[in-house]
Amino acid sequence: MLYDQSMRKLSKSPNSVLLVAGLILALLATISLAISSKPEKNFTAGSPEATVQLYLDAIIKGDNDLALTFLDPNNSCESADLDRAYIHDSYRVNLISSVISGTSATVKIDVEYASSMPFDPSYSNPQTMRLEKHSSKWLLTGIPWPLYDCGPPK
């Protein structure tokens, strides 16, 4: 009889461990969902931050022609360059800082990618977006993320 009772205790022990592990996983999933569902901030229309946001929104939606309207007309990037750009399936962009100096602006962002494996940390990729003011509109210069290469300069 004593042998049977100890076996019952042992057989319940793994179930308890699984229950606790399941509760921990559920808690982590809830926390992750709460963190990742922060509302999107909308910036003042016509600001460098708003230009970067609209550019990235167009890329996310796959509207490369719209994305190109936020680039300096002297930029060598074309729609085909955006077609070739790799964009991770799951990411979030956070504004780090923004500095305006006359007709130039620098917007620093952090592109945070979710891991594809449970318990693996996310990783981030800081990017600097440079803008110039043309008339009353801020436009991206250089080769902005997610692009890393474009044709020869115009």
pLDDT at residue 1 tops 60? no
Per-position b or e across 129-146, b if 16+ CB within 10 A of its CB: bbbbbeeeebbbbbbbbb
- Domain regions of the chain by residue span: 1-37, 48-140
Q: Tell me, what's the pLDDT at 35?
A: 46
What would the pLDDT profile of 23-73 be if each residue is shown by its tens digit? 565 555 544 444 444 556 777 788 999 999 999 999 888 899 999 999 998
Contact 71, 140 (CB under 8 A): yes
φ, ψ of residue 152 in degrees (nearest 5): -65, 150
pLDDT tens-digit readout, 84-97: 887 777 778 889 99
Which CATH topology does 48-140 take? Nuclear Transport Factor 2; Chain: A, (3.10.450)
SS3 64: helix
Interatomic CA distance for residues 65 and 76, integer angstroms: 14
pLDDT computed for residue 21 by the predictor: 57
**What mean pLDDT do residues 98-113 have?**
93
Locate 93 and state its tokens. Answer: 């962009």
Peptide bond into 14 cis (omega under 30): no
So what's the pLDDT on residue 153?
63
Read off the pTM: 0.69
Q: Average the pLDDT over each of 23-27, 90-94, 99-103, 125-129 and give the range with the smallest value.
A: 23-27
Tokens 């926390």, residue? 31
